Amino acid sequence: MPEGDSSTIDLSTLTLEGSTVIPSHDPFGNEIIISEADINSLKEVDGYFETLSKNIDADNNGELDLLSDKQIYIKSSFAIMAGKYGINNTGAVISDTALNSIQYNTYITGGLGFTEPDTAFLAGPEGNPYEDIQFGHLQDIDNNGHGFSTGFYIGNSAFKKGIYTLTLDEQPYTISFSNIDASYNLVFATPTLNTDGEGKLVSIDLKYQHADYVEVNPENIMTDLIIELNDTLKNRLFNSPRIISKNTINIGSYVTGLDSYTLETPLNISALEYIDIVYTDLLGNLYFIQWRK
């Protein structure tokens, strides 16, 4: 805004049309200087939060699901083949095709008031349903049979905006969904491995960059991440604890600081094939960023 926090805006007459409040004086482009791209981004996020507000009574019993800890959240996850990880003095390389490799999944979680269901099916959206929504996974949240997490996907495409029906053990739940394009909060958490004189891994440095290597502040995009190291047979060599932004409120075991992680014990990485860096953006969506040799 031109005068910072001291700027004032007179919206003049406000008119309600449906669920939209329209001012007779539009501050955008006047008091509020914002690009068309920024406006489109805000519209995208606005649609996402609108769907959250519609999902407060997914079982349609007239009561807030939160009161019984049976709230349901629907989110997106994105898997990206990013490029090559760095090691010592050789930095990570972002692939020219990384932005074309994005795979989309939708996952749904339910609060601890749920008992883990035996079956889960997803249908929709209303008016233009998919013929075959593929099932991904079904598991509990706390390893004691409480809550649930389930995933679904349509090939490599993002789910369409609309109203879906999730059926858990023959009980239907109504869920509103608005997909956020992966590009809005996509950042490449580029890892560089640091080794000791024996070639063992001692620490991992992280830079946060767009595909053109322009660096960004990760705290403006994500809340936390984990680092996973895997061998050629997909065996896990190492899992980091959850690494969080210093501004994130957390419960449980975690370390603070998104720039680097130091291992407690040097790790033999002679069998290392690929690294997965999994981060959560500010909207709760998941990004699986994979790096190869």
Average pLDDT over the chain, rounded to an integer: 88
So what's the pLDDT on residue 103? 87
pLDDT per residue as tens digits for the range 34-69: 777 777 777 777 777 777 788 899 999 999 999 999
Percentage of residues of the chain with pLDDT beyond 70: 94
H/E stretch holding 177: strand 171-177
**Among the residues of the chain, which ranges form H helices?**
36-54
Percentage of residues of the chain with pLDDT beyond 90: 53
**At 221, is the pLDDT very low, low, confident or very high (cuts 50, 70, 90)?**
confident
Burial of 285 (0-12, 13-18, 19+ CB in 10 A): buried
**At 138, is the pLDDT very low, low, confident or very high (cuts 50, 70, 90)?**
very high
So what's the pLDDT on residue 242? 84
Q: Collect all residues with Cβ–Cβ distance below 8 Å to 187 and sequence separation of at least 6.
A: 208, 209, 210, 216, 218, 221, 222
Nearest to 141 by CA among 109, 172, 105: 109
Token output for 4: 């910072």
Burial of 122 (0-12, 13-18, 19+ CB in 10 A): buried
* Mean pLDDT for the stretch of residues 15-38: 85
Which domains are assigned to the chain?
Answer: 184-292 (2.60.40)
So what's the pLDDT on residue 38? 73
CA distance 277 to 271: 18
